[in-house]
Amino acid sequence: MVLLQSDHLILQTDPFWRDLWLIIISFLMFVGTIYIYFRLRSSTFSRIRRLLEERVEVKTKQLVEKNLELEKLSLAVSRTDNAVLIADAHGEIEWVNDAFTRLTGMGKDKIIGRKVNEINVYNEIRKEIDEAVKLKHSRIFESNLTTHNLNNIWLSSTLTPVFNEDGQLKKIVLVDTDITAGKKMQQRIEESLKEKDVLLKEIHHRVKNNLQIIISLLNLQSGYIKDESTLKAVKDGQNRVRSMALVHEKFYQADELTEIDFGDYVEKLTQYIYQSYGDKTDRVKLLIDTDYVGLDMDTAMPSGLLVNELVSNAYKYAFPGNRSGEIKISLKKSGNKINLKISDNGVGLPSDFKMEGSESLGMQLIQALTDQLDGKLDLNVDKGTQFSIEFHYPKN
C-alpha cells in the first residue's frame, strides 16, 4: 500500500506523464470531432445526392417526353403531304421537308441557303412577309404556279413569323397545301353557273318574245272589235301582258339573274301605260319617287301587275272629261319592308266603297295580287284615291 501511494504521488508530480495524458486526451477528442464532422458531412452529401438524383430523374423524364414530342413532330412534318419551309429572318431557307422537294422538283441541297423569293413557288412573297411581320400575325394567301413536270397547281400558304423575346423576327415558317382539286371544282361550278345564266337569259328572252307576240295578236284583234267595252277589255289585257313581258325583259338584261331593279322597272312600265292613254297625257302628270329595290321573279311579277292595274285604273277613272291632275307613285324600302303607294288627286271613289264587295275584275285582281305577296292593302279615299301596299322582301 505504501508503494502504490508512492507511485500515485509520482504520477501526480511527474510532468511527463501529465503531458502525455493531456496529449492522449486531446488526440482522442480531435479524432472524435473529426469522426463526427465526417459523419455529418457524409449524411449531408447523401441527402444532396438523393436530391440531385431525383432532379436528374425528373429532367431525364422531361427530356424523354420532349424527345418523343419532337420525334412525333418531326415525323408529322417530314411525312405530311403539305410542303413545309423554314427560313431565317432574312428570308434564307434553312430547312424544307420532302413534300417541298417534290413540289419544286429540286433536291434539298439546291434549296437550302437560297432566298424564299428566289424559288418559283409563291406570288409576291416579299409583300406577304412584310405584311405578316408588320402585323405580327400569320397570313394565308394563294399562289398559282407551274411545277417542274408542267402541272398547273394552286397552293394555299400559311405564313407565320416567329419572334424572339425581344420582339425581333427570328424565323419564317411557310406551310403549303395543294388546293388544285378545290380550285378546279370551283371553276367547274362557275362555268356551270355561267351556262345556267345564259340559259335563263335565253328563257327570259323567249318568254318575253312570246308575250310580245300575244300583245301584237291582241292589237290586231282589237282592230276588228266595234264594241267599246270589249275594246277596253282587250286593251287592259294588252297592258297586263306587257307588264309581264317587261319583267322578263328586265331579267334577261340584268347582270345578275336573281333580282331586278324594281324602281327602274316601274319607270319603264309607266311609260308604256302613259303612251297607251294618249288622250290624257297632256293633262295628267305622272310623278315617280322610288328607292333602289331589288326583287326576284316571284315578287317582281305580282308587284308589276299591281302597278299596272292601279296606274291604269287611275288613268281610266280618276280624270273624266277634261279634268287634270297628278298620279303619284312612291316605292320605299326600310329593312325588309317594302311600301308601294299609288295615289291620284282625281274624282276619287265613293266614301262607302268596300274592296271586299267589289265585283270589278281590276279590284279583285288587286286583292289577289296583294295576297300573293302576303302583303297588306290600305285604301284611302280622302282627296282622291290612295292605295298603299306593304309587304316584306325577303319574306321572314
Contacts 24+ apart (CB under 8 A), 141-147: 142/179, 145/120, 145/121, 147/103, 147/104, 147/105
The verdict on 173 and 197 lying in the same domain is no
Question: Residue 118 and residue 253: Cα distance in Å, rounded?
Answer: 48
One domain, residues 170 and 112: yes
Q: Which of 180, 160, 179 is closest to 171 using CA atoms?
A: 160
- Three-class DSSP labels, 176-231: EEECHHHHHHHHHHHHHHHHHHHHHHHHHHHHHHHHHHHHHHHHHHHCCCCCHHHH
Q: Does 254 fall in a domain?
A: yes
Terminal alpha carbon distance of the chain: 134
What does the radius of gyration of the chain's CA atoms come to, in whole angstroms?
49
Residue 273 in any domain: the answer is no
Q: Are both 303 and 388 inside the same structural domain?
A: yes
Range of the domain at 101: 80-178
Q: Indicate the pairing of strand 385-392 with strand 337-344.
A: antiparallel
Three cell numbers written together for 79: 411525312
249 and 317 share one domain? no
266 assigned to some structural domain = no
The answer on 215 and 157 residing in a single domain is no
Considering the domain architecture, whether residues 288 and 352 belong to the same structural domain is answered as yes
For residues 265 and 283, what is the distance between their CA atoms, to the nearest angstrom?
A: 24
Residue 2 forms part of a structural domain? no
| 40 and 119 together in one domain | no
Number of domains present in the structure of the chain: 4
Q: Residues in the chain, how many?
A: 396
How far is residue 203's CA from residue 257's CA, in Å, rounded to a whole number?
11
8 Å CB contact between 69 and 142: no
SS3 of residue 14 by DSSP: coil
Q: Is residue 270 part of a domain?
A: no
Q: 91's torsion region: left (phi>0), alpha (psi -120 to 50) or beta? A: left
Please report the DSSP string for 294-357 in residue order: EE-HHHHHHHHHHHHHHHHHHHHHSS-TT--EEEEEEEEEETTEEEEEEEE-SS---TT--STT
Task: Point out the domain boundary residue: 178, 204, 226.
Answer: 178
In tens digits, the chain (396 residues) has pLDDT values of: 444 454 554 445 567 777 778 888 887 787 778 877 777 777 777 788 788 878 888 887 877 777 666 565 555 556 677 888 989 999 999 988 888 888 888 888 888 999 998 888 888 888 999 999 999 999 999 988 877 776 788 999 999 999 998 889 999 999 998 898 888 998 898 888 888 888 888 888 899 899 899 989 988 888 888 888 888 888 888 889 999 999 999 988 888 778 999 999 999 999 888 888 766 667 888 899 999 999 999 999 999 999 999 999 998 888 888 888 999 999 999 999 999 999 999 898 877 777 777 778 888 899 999 999 999 999 988 888 999 999 999 876
> For residue 373, is it within any domain?
yes
